[in-house]
Amino acid sequence: MTEDTKNAASSPSGDPWLLTPGPLTTSLSVKQAMLHDYGSRDATFIELNARILERLVAIVNGAGSHVSVPLQGSGTFAVEAMIGNFVPADGKLLILINGAYGKRIAKICDYYRRSYQVQESPEDVPVDTVELDATLDADAEIGHVVVVHCETTSGILNPVAEVAQIVARHGRRLLIDSMSAFGALPLDAREIEFDAVVASSNKCLEGAPGMGFCVARQSALEQTEGNSPSLVLDLYDQWRALQKNRQWRFTPPTHVLLAFDQALSEFEEEGGVAGRGGRYRENCDLLVAGMRNMGFKTLLPDELQAPIIITFHMPTNPEFDFDAFYDGLKQLGYVIYPGKLTVADSFRMGCIGRLGTGQIQGALDAVAGLLQQFGIDKISNE
Ligand SMILES: *Cc1c(COP(=O)(O)O)cnc(C)c1O
């Protein structure tokens, strides 16, 4: 990299800061943890594996009742595995949708030919618990309900605790995609009844991308034998293999696991969910206040906004060109993300990953500088 192509701001590894929904900025120590080659049968590696699985269960306070099962691949692999394992071939799934990740679950059901029904809300509205109650009353065939904890499409927080109460009251089973919330927003297995929750190594836990995991109620997981239509995504089989010889069934992503173990230590040092979520909340508050100060408008009111990723309306000033804005920010050392909404033209800025208020302030200063460069005095949202 020559001096003039180098990003103005950069992480300790010389990369731009990622204000995105993932992959995310990781600490230098997490990246350095990967500088080893372990065989999958190495005793140190096997210990590390067991330690990771225990720590994941502890994050939801599930010791004694819940177990965790790791899986190679990105987060969607874990979502697909959860659906394929927990919804039996003759079952029926109710999918609560208010964004792209909920829709993706419906697509998974199409591939697996699982019977499902959707209950859809607009992307800027939380899933409707009154309607959920009525739907479960009306349809006894629905055995499982799935909800997305934080819908990363907009950044909206869904009322998972209320959903869980309703599902439990009807005697049905709850599945949760907590990919972008796990580790940053509370999810306590002693308070929220669920059969399975899935997340990945790289979002709020700040490890390297490359593996997902499922934390499941053991008694529910035990009933899933033979359900999975996929060999590689068979969580039950993976769990049994790990119990039997403490090993993954197929080549484990050793480097990703080394990084994940380090990331979990840093997570615990930061104070677990309260500490991690607290830092993201500070990031989010500063980002929202700073952007509003310049005239940008958030899609969501504050009470619906999860401190994960923020959707901003695309300014309508003719001088505002998103590609130039994106490229300009990248050059200044901050990577943002295009919008994924169907309800409005938008862009997103994340506040998760190894970022603090220093980086958020840096990004705000970069935005202000670019607006000046574009000749925009006042952001227009009309
Ligand atoms: C990131 C994410 C996923 C999984 O995405 P991958 O790109 O497969 O890692 C699933 N659900 C939600 C809510 C997410 O934010």
Q: How far is the CA of 373 from the centre of ligand 1 (A)?
A: 35
> What residue's CA is closest to ligand 1, atom 5?
75
21 lines ligand 1 (CB under 6 A): yes
Q: Which residues touch 244 (CB under 8 Å, ≥6 apart)? A: none
pLDDT for 6: 59
Q: How far is CA 291 from CA 135, 364, 365, in A?
A: 40, 7, 10
Q: How far is the CA of 179 from the centre of ligand 1 (A)?
A: 6
pLDDT for 252: 97
Which residue in 310, 362, 276, 55 sits closest to 157, CA to CA? Answer: 310
pLDDT for 3: 44
Token pair 């033209």 is found at 345
Q: How far is the CA of 146 from the centre of ligand 1 (A)?
A: 15
**For the chain, which domains are there?**
3-21+271-374 (3.90.1150.10), 36-269 (3.40.640.10)
pLDDT for 382: 82
Q: What spatial distance separates the first Cα and last Cα of the chain, rounded to whole Å?
A: 41
Of the residues 83, 96, 152, which should be mutated to test ligand 1's pocket, given the most ligand atoms within 8 Å of the CB?
152
As a whole number of angstroms, the distance between CA 357 and CA 19 comes to 12
Token pair 């302030």 is found at 361
Of the residues 177, 201, 351, which should be mutated to test ligand 1's pocket, given the most ligand atoms within 8 Å of the CB?
177
- What are the average pLDDT values for consecutive 10-residue runs of the chain, which has 382 residues? 59 95 97 96 94 98 98 98 98 98 98 98 97 98 98 97 98 98 98 98 98 98 98 98 96 98 98 98 98 97 98 96 97 93 89 97 98 96 87
pLDDT for 340: 80
Of the residues 179, 180, 309, 310, which should be mutated to test ligand 1's pocket, given the most ligand atoms within 8 Å of the CB?
179
76 lines ligand 1 (CB under 6 A): yes
158 lines ligand 1 (CB under 6 A): no
Token pair 């996929």 is found at 230
Q: Which two tokens stand for residue 330?
A: 């990248």
In sequence order, what are the beta bridge partners of 47?
none
Quote the distance between the C-alpha of residue 360 and its chain's center: 20
pLDDT for 341: 81
As a whole number of angstroms, the distance between CA 311 and CA 319 comes to 20
